[in-house]
Amino acid sequence: MSEKWLTATVLENRHWTESLFSLRVEAPKLRFDAGQFVRIALDIDGQRVARAFSFVNPPADPVLEFYGVVVPEGPLSPRLAKLRTGDALHVAANPAGFLVLSELPDAQTLWLISTGTGLAPFLSILRTEVPWKRFRNVVLVHAVRYAKELTYRELITGTGAKYITFVSRESAPGSLAGRIPAAIADGRLEAAAGIALKPETSHVMLCGNPQMLKDATAALVARGMRKHRRRAPGHITVESFW
């Protein structure tokens, strides 16, 4: 069956850095859960080129928002970055994805751990009421190469989540150095949060770079955690961006 496409219009394309951008678009109402994604597309040389993008906006917000990075050799992202107010793009009619709180078992602490644009689905989740009703602590972790890539800071601090940042390629006051998996393994992440990262109390959602997901999962497994499945509840839920 061919995919059903809706036509959307760009309201704003905010450029945070030369490679990071946020598109706010007007589109027919879509039903989705915070943490899900949808395919968005442009017609390039007569071909519809579509890629998955996570919603940044909470479901109740009628303006859709997507957070992207320019992958210079990529077919779609450089073109999305160049869109201007009034330009059209296509949005698929069927949001999807399992990085949603309704799939999670109860826990005391919800850890939302991201690299790069993997932050996007957690911004949507943080702006719903659910995490604040279901969890005693909510920790948002964002790892980037350079400090200028720590986007959406005001929004995040405004949610009340405990906010921990990593900057890996320069020294940045207030941010941890290095990578997330090493900081899980050596205890720096839980020390920074002031909250224990252990299976008895924690559920961890991971999103972004697939190698980070793999390495962080291994570090969590070493702490006694396991992947969450509907039929075998666990502590780790992941979404890979490529």
Ligand X SMILES: NC(=O)c1ccc[n+]([C@@H]2O[C@H](COP(=O)([O-])OP(=O)(O)OC[C@H]3O[C@@H](n4cnc5c(N)ncnc54)[C@H](OP(=O)(O)O)[C@@H]3O)[C@@H](O)[C@H]2O)c1
Ligand Y SMILES: Cc1cc2nc3c(=O)[nH]c(=O)nc-3n(C[C@H](O)[C@H](O)[C@H](O)COP(=O)(O)OP(=O)(O)OC[C@H]3O[C@@H](n4cnc5c(N)ncnc54)[C@H](O)[C@@H]3O)c2cc1C
Interface residues with ligand Y (CB under 6 A) are: 37, 51-54, 66-69, 71, 74-77, 97, 116-117, 120, 239, 241-242
152 binds, among ligand Y, ligand X, none (CB under 5 to 8 A by kind): none
Distance CA 107, CA 51 (A): 33
Rank residues 118 and 131 by Cβ distance to ligand Y and give the closer one.
118
Do 100 and 36 form a contact (C-beta atoms < 8 A)? yes
3-state helix, strand, coil in the chain (%, to 5): 25, 35, 40
Asked if 35 is part of the footprint of ligand X (rule: CB under 6 A), the reply reads no
Question: If contact means CB under 5 to 8 A according to the sort of partner, which of ligand X, ligand Y, none does residue 33 touch?
Answer: none
Binding of ligand X by 68 (CB under 6 A): no
Contacted by 72, from ligand Y, ligand X, none: CB < 5 to 8 Å by type: ligand X
CB of 236 to ligand X, least distance (A): 15
**Strand stretches in the chain, DSSP E:** 5-15, 20-26, 37-44, 47-54, 64-69, 88-92, 109-115, 137-144, 162-167, 176-177, 202-208, 236-240
Query: Contact between 121 and ligand X (CB under 6 A)?
Result: no
Report residue 204 as tokens.
């961890």
Among the listed residues 98, 100, 113, 123, the one whose alpha carbon sits nearest the alpha carbon of residue 184: 113
Binding site for ligand X (CB under 6 A): 18-19, 69-72, 115-117, 143-145, 166, 168-169, 179-181, 209, 211-212, 215
